[in-house]
Amino acid sequence: MNQDDRWVRLLESVGAVQTGHFLLSSGRHSERYVQCARVLEDPRNASLLGAELARQMAGEVDRVVSPPLGGILIGYEVARALGKPFQFPERVPDGLFQLRRGFSIRPGERIAIVEDVITTGRTTRELMALLHGHGAQTVGVGAIVDRSVNHEVDGWPVRALVRLEIPTYAYSECPLCARGVPIAQPGSRKQGVKEEA
């Protein structure tokens, strides 16, 4: 079995890959949902995943930064494996990311961005905007699960342990809606799913 199979099986074994009818924050519907919190629930899994992702992202990195909440545990583990510091921004009331808690980033710092799941790349781009605004540079993008279509965000290839191609549907074309299957809204971001953010 290749590495990808190993990590998919790990996610499936802890119920992190769920099947059902899910409303994503983009408004689209999907029949599978990845809840990375389930695999990170066991710190041993978090360390394993972080070490492997760090191996794939190794390079000239000064700092690891992850978006809250979903990215924080895995980002921290990647930072641990790389032996580098870790920071996370927070959303201020207007919805933008901001560094708080005394966190700061120096101009020229080389930042690895780590997330749990990357789908549209929207959160990654928001984080890049914040970091670049501090004069830092992105040197890598990684995730436990890559659900993106092109496996890149703004030209950065997404390093991921698992690639899942999961179809999403507009409400009008959703086969699950057509069958009358009740829809769920997992995740933490507003009324939709964090992973689609």
Give the residues lining the site for Zn ion (CB under 5 A): 29, 174, 176-177
In angstroms, give the least distance from the CB of 109 to Zn ion: 43
Give me the least distance between CB of 183 and Zn ion, in Å please: 6
Q: Which is nearer to Zn ion, 29 or 63 (CB)?
A: 29
Q: How far is the CB of 96 from Zn ion (least distance, A)?
A: 31
Query: How far from 173 is each of 27, 58, 169, CA to CA, in Å?
Result: 12, 42, 6
Nearer to Zn ion, 133 or 171 (CB): 171
20 versus 68: smaller Cβ distance to Zn ion = 20
Which candidate, 16, 15, 39, 19, places its Cα nearest to that of 30? 19
CB atoms closer than 10 angstroms to residue 1:
7
| Residue pair 40/46 in contact by the 8 Å Cβ criterion | yes
Element holding 153 (H helix, E strand) = strand 152-153
Provide the token pair at 52: 């492997």
Our CB check for Zn ion shows the closer of 3 and 185 to be 185
Cα 109 versus chain centre, distance: 21
In whole angstroms, the minimum distance from the beta carbon of 166 to Zn ion comes to 13
When CB distances to Zn ion are compared, the closest residue is 174
Distance of closest approach, residue 16 Cβ to Zn ion, in angstroms = 22
* Closer residue to Zn ion, CB minimum distance, 99 or 177: 177
The residues near 177 (Cβ < 8 Å, ≥ 6 apart) are 21, 29, 169, 171, 183
